[in-house]
Amino acid sequence: MEQKHIANILDQYDQNELYSDFEALSVCNLCPRNCNTDRLHRKSGYCKTGSEFKISSICIHRGEEPVISGRKGICNIFFTNCNLQCKYCQNHQISFNCLDHSRDEMRLEAVLEQITHILDQGIKAVGFVSPSHVIPQVKVIIRALKVLGYKPAFVYNSNGYDKVEEIRKLEGLIDVYLPDFKYMDKDIGREYSDAPDYPQIALNAIKEMYRQVGSSILLNDDEQAERGMVIRHLVLPGNAQNSIKVLQEIADKISPHINISLMSQYYPTYHVAGHKFLGRILRRKEYQLVVDAMEDLGINDGWIQDLDSYENYRPDFERKDHPFE
């Protein structure tokens, strides 16, 4: 759908309703960082993001879990900046707040033109990647797509560092939750992601996601999730015990029947070169230890990866239209 046509349709819609959540940006406490900052006029919060649509790529992604990609792929929207600054981040080109991402700022009409171009090819799901710091923008995109007559499944693909009250407000808007659950150890949360409170925050947020959609995954004709949740956990080198504690927490406090994507695809970026653990790839025996623990905990639904999968998951966001190809 062309931008001019999109603008015409949206102009007839109540703008106050479309942007009704932007008020929260005037004193931003959207995420657990609680910066209390005015994002309508400055980019002074931890995430260095204002009220703009700052997106590094909108593309068809076929490399997600089978139920997320389905047969045709998902239209993923990769937001820049992030409310977590994981030192090993595999998407560091777009997530590090110290970098200048101003070239990724887009007008809403341009965002919608790219998304609708993909949806018009028969793609049935839209994924918001790293959305925790831009929830008001996410809501505008969802509302606008509905106004334009599109009804894809909306997937919330977050790092898990989300506030419960914000996730609660997404009920009825988001169809599929795809959160990370990274750490159960405060010290690791502090050292790797500047977030010692990550374990409790992520647990509470994921519990709320589970309350909304449960553990069953409803598939469409393309074998793609249109409702449900998958929890992702990336096993980090030298941190198998943290991974086992995360799985234990999921089984004990949420449900052993949730689909888990247990990932081995870690590769060290140059930012962590020389780090005792993060500077190397994962060892087979480390990953196997976590896979065995998952079985012992009675978690039987989900996916594990081949250990050499790290060779296939190195996005390059300089290639904006095809970062994964």
Are the CB atoms for 124 and 222 separated by under 8 Å?
Answer: yes
Residue 181 makes contact with ligand SF4 by CB under 6 A: no
Using the minimum distance from each CB to ligand SF4, give the nearer residue, 47 or 59. 47
Q: In the complex, what is the shortest distance from the CB of residue 47 to ligand SF4, in angstroms, rounded to a whole number?
A: 3
Query: What does DSSP say about strands 153-157 and 225-234: parallel, antiparallel, or unpaired?
Result: unpaired
- Rg for the chain, CA atoms, rounded: 19
Both structure tokens of 231: 């929890």
Q: How many binding residues for ligand SF4 (CB under 6 A)?
A: 15
Q: Let me know the angle formed at the C-alpha of 95 by 191 and 262, rounded to the nearest 5 degrees.
A: 65
Q: In the complex, what is the shortest distance from the CB of residue 37 to ligand SF4, in angstroms, rounded to a whole number?
A: 5
Residue 46 makes contact with ligand SF4 by CB under 6 A: yes
Q: Which of 76, 83, 85, 264 binds ligand SF4 (CB under 6 A)?
A: 83
In whole angstroms, what is the distance from residue 43 CA to residue 33 CA? 14
Q: Closest residue to ligand SF4, Cβ-based?
A: 45
Contacts of 45 (CB under 8 A, 6+ apart): 28, 33, 35, 37, 39, 133
Give residue for tokens 């599929």: 176
Residues 125-164 that bind ligand SF4 (CB under 6 A): 133
Q: Which stretch binds ligand SF4 (CB under 6 A): 10-18, 44-52, 62-70, 142-150?
A: 44-52
In whole angstroms, what is the distance from residue 226 CA to residue 240 CA? 32
Residues 4-43 that bind ligand SF4 (CB under 6 A): 28-31, 33-35, 37, 39
Using the minimum distance from each CB to ligand SF4, give the nearer residue, 83 or 243. 83
How many Å separate Cα 88 from the centre of its chain?
A: 16
Q: DSSP 3-state assignment of 241?
A: helix
Q: Which stretch binds ligand SF4 (CB under 6 A): 46-54, 111-119, 139-147, 211-219?
A: 46-54
Q: Which residues bind ligand SF4 (CB under 6 A)?
A: 28-31, 33-35, 37, 39, 45-47, 49, 83, 133
